[in-house]
Amino acid sequence: MNAVSPLASRRHDSATERWSRMPVIRTGDDYISSLKGRGTRLFLFGELIDEPADHPMIRPSINALRATYDLAIDDPELATAHSPLIDAPVNRFLHMPESPQDLVMKNRMQRRLGQLTGTCFQRCTGLDTLSVLHSITWDIDEKHGTGYHQRYLAFLKEAQRHNVLIAAGMTDPKGDRSKRPFEQSDQDMFLHVSGRNDDGIFVRGVKAHMTGGWNQHWICVMPTMNLSEHDKDYAVVGMIPGDAEGITYIYGRQSSDTRSMEGGSIDQGNAEYGGQEVWVYFDDVFIPHEHVLMDGEYEFAQDMVARFTAYHRASYVCKTGLGDVMTGAAATIADYNGVDKVSHIKDKLVEMVHLNETIFSSGIASSHEAKPLASGIYMNDAMLSNVCKHNVTRFPYEIARLAQDLAGGIVATMPSEKDLDNEEAGAIIRRFLKGRDDIPTEDRMRILRLIENMTLGRNAVGYLTESMHGAGSPQAQRIQILRGMDVESKKWHARKLAGIKQA
């Protein structure tokens, strides 16, 4: 499969050419402009979309990423850091953790962005991918004498200088989950090296559920699971521009997503911000050698996934920012309904905060407990990071349940904004959907729609389902907890205190 490929004659550009067409981004406006005119192939509702950045269903997800640029300008202490690589300040999403404090600051920034957007702002996967590649490329070079780490540093420097975004393409479709990549009936079920020439490699396959996949300038493809010697072609890591030849995007639907095409701003719940997941098909896409960071070193795939999840599972503290919004929405509707002083309402708000802060404490603790790696950067404590993500697979669901409890049934049966705007229907709605006399009906409707948006609608993807499956389904954390829990030392302590003679 890896002999000189017939694909070798296909048009492909060099690493330098790829960087030369990348923008240098400073502001949120620069970012929005950078997405236009890229000539990508993106399907939505069975049609290729000419200019996805202008599509009303896609734009809210772009706004969420824009917020990461805006925050760097509005609050540089929180959202930028000094890069020793280019000796300049960079967006914190492009800064490699040089200390536990860097990881703590990252978590604080993630919570803040969750509060500001109420959705998945799509940039954590890229930072966590760059972070893990620092140490993995170093370790592969140590063992094999390869030159991946220098390639990685060269890429990172350019990424920092251009202030661009990198999407994480880890999850393959996986087909029959009981089979390894090389055992699948369809060899493309996991992304793999499909050809080679003197300048680089070609890859074929799909990366699924990719967060902000179309909204970012680069995609990093990488293995999704541990690999065997038979899976060597699947052990590939590479950086690919989002507009490379051979890429097709298919947009993922979200509940109530077409509300953003109806006009108005109430029924969307959160009209400004949303998330994005896309399926990305790579049809023999070229990667120049300079952007290949693993090629056949299958024995590092497992470590790569484990280290990625150590970073990424702590990144789920972002959901505590959304939890703050959720708690605020529940408290507001109780207020509008005139029941904010009632004891069971206050108790439910306390429960929401307790659950939310429990998530935050495990995530931030894993950053405080970070340890240095041989390559010189720090990595989150894996046990605490897995505990953080495991909390996230449960607690947002309970927080959402409590928010719906406080909202009342109207959260799921409310008439539309267009009915509110109709003279006859609107008069009935304004009169009977009112809570407290001094609160306009429209305000009550807006907060109810926000609760609907985050618990049932578009941003429930970011708040609930992503919390469940993003960075691995719950069982993936339990496996890591089992690996790290050292039950033998716990048994030893118990036997000692019980007065049992130690073996």
In this structure, what are the phi and psi dihedrals at residue 388, rounded to the nearest 5 degrees? -55, -50
Among 139-147, 203-211, 334-342, 343-351, the segment contacting ligand FAD (CB under 6 A): 203-211
Tally Cβ neighbours within 10 Å of residue 433: 16
Binding residue for ligand FAD, selected from 38, 469, 478, 492, defined by CB under 6 A: 469
Q: How many residues in the shown chain lie near ligand FAD by CB under 6 A?
A: 22
Beta pairing partners, 412: none
Nearer to ligand FAD, 337 or 480 (CB): 480
Here the tokens at position 4 are: 């000189």
The answer to whether residue 174 forms part of the interface with ligand FAD (CB under 6 A) is yes
Tally Cβ neighbours within 10 Å of residue 38: 16
CB 380 within 8 A of CB 103: yes
Here the tokens at position 464 are: 């609930």
344 is annotated as an active-site residue: no
**3-state SS string for 48-71:** ECCCHHHCCCCHHHHHHHHHHHHH
Nearer to ligand FAD, 206 or 407 (CB): 206
CB 29 within 8 A of CB 70: no
Among 11-19, 75-83, 346-354, 466-474, the segment contacting ligand FAD (CB under 6 A): 466-474
Set 312, 332, 378, 463: catalytic member: 312
Torsion sign (Cα): 480, 317, 240, 57: positive
Alpha helices in 120-173 (DSSP H): 124-144, 148-162
E-strand stretches of 373-469: 378-379
388 is annotated as an active-site residue: no
CA distances from 73 to 28, 30, 66, 90, 321 (A): 9, 13, 11, 11, 20
CB 137 within 8 A of CB 373: no
Here the tokens at position 411 are: 């959260």
277 is annotated as an active-site residue: yes
Coil, strand or helix: which one is 197? strand
Burial class (CB in 10 A: 0-12, 13-18, 19+), 41: middle
The contact mask relative to ligand FAD for 230-249 (x = CB under 6 A, - = no) is --------------------
Set 95, 134, 137, 318: catalytic member: 318
Q: Rounded to the nearest whole angstrom, what is the least distance from the CB of residue 471 to ligand FAD in the complex?
A: 6
Taking the C-alpha atoms of residue 335 and residue 320, their distance in angstroms, rounded to an integer, is 22
The answer to whether residue 170 forms part of the interface with ligand FAD (CB under 6 A) is yes
Set 40, 80, 119, 120: catalytic member: 120
Nearer to ligand FAD, 277 or 324 (CB): 277
Among 81-89, 97-105, 406-414, 470-478, the segment contacting ligand FAD (CB under 6 A): 470-478
The answer to whether residue 277 forms part of the interface with ligand FAD (CB under 6 A) is yes
Q: Using CB under 6 A, which residues numbered 89 to 128 contact ligand FAD?
A: 125
Q: Rounded to the nearest whole angstrom, what is the least distance from the CB of residue 122 to ligand FAD in the complex?
A: 8
Tally Cβ neighbours within 10 Å of residue 103: 28
Q: Rounded to the nearest whole angstrom, what is the least distance from the CB of residue 31 to ligand FAD in the complex?
A: 18
Nearer to ligand FAD, 63 or 276 (CB): 276
Among 130-138, 169-177, 405-413, 495-503, the segment contacting ligand FAD (CB under 6 A): 169-177
Coil, strand or helix: which one is 329? helix
Binding residue for ligand FAD, selected from 123, 209, 389, 444, defined by CB under 6 A: 209
Among 41-49, 171-179, 262-270, 429-437, the segment contacting ligand FAD (CB under 6 A): 171-179
Nearer to ligand FAD, 2 or 475 (CB): 475
Q: Rounded to the nearest whole angstrom, what is the least distance from the CB of residue 236 to ligand FAD in the complex?
A: 14
The answer to whether residue 169 forms part of the interface with ligand FAD (CB under 6 A) is yes
Torsion sign (Cα): 379, 381, 385, 388: negative
Q: Rounded to the nearest whole angstrom, what is the least distance from the CB of residue 171 to ligand FAD in the complex?
A: 3
Taking the C-alpha atoms of residue 97 and residue 416, their distance in angstroms, rounded to an integer, is 47
Binding residue for ligand FAD, selected from 4, 33, 475, 491, defined by CB under 6 A: 475
User: DSSP letters along 53-119, please?
Assistant: GG-TTTHHHHHHHHHHHHHHHH-HHHHEEEETTTTEEEEGGG----SHHHHHHHHHHHHHHHHHHSS
Nearer to ligand FAD, 127 or 471 (CB): 471
17 is annotated as an active-site residue: no
Q: Rounded to the nearest whole angstrom, what is the least distance from the CB of residue 168 to ligand FAD in the complex?
A: 5
Among 89-97, 131-139, 388-396, 471-479, the segment contacting ligand FAD (CB under 6 A): 471-479
Set 158, 417, 452, 466: catalytic member: 466
Binding residue for ligand FAD, selected from 111, 466, 477, 480, defined by CB under 6 A: 466
Here the tokens at position 335 are: 């207020």
In this structure, what are the phi and psi dihedrals at residue 416, rounded to the nearest 5 degrees? -80, 165
466 is annotated as an active-site residue: yes
Q: What is the CA radius of gyration of the chain?
A: 24
The contact mask relative to ligand FAD for 422-461 (x = CB under 6 A, - = no) is ---------------------------------------x
Among 76-84, 194-202, 435-443, 462-470, the segment contacting ligand FAD (CB under 6 A): 462-470
Residues with a catalytic annotation lie at: 120, 124, 211, 277, 312, 316, 318, 466
Binding site for ligand FAD (CB under 6 A): 125, 168-171, 174, 177-178, 207, 209-211, 277, 461, 465-466, 469-473, 475
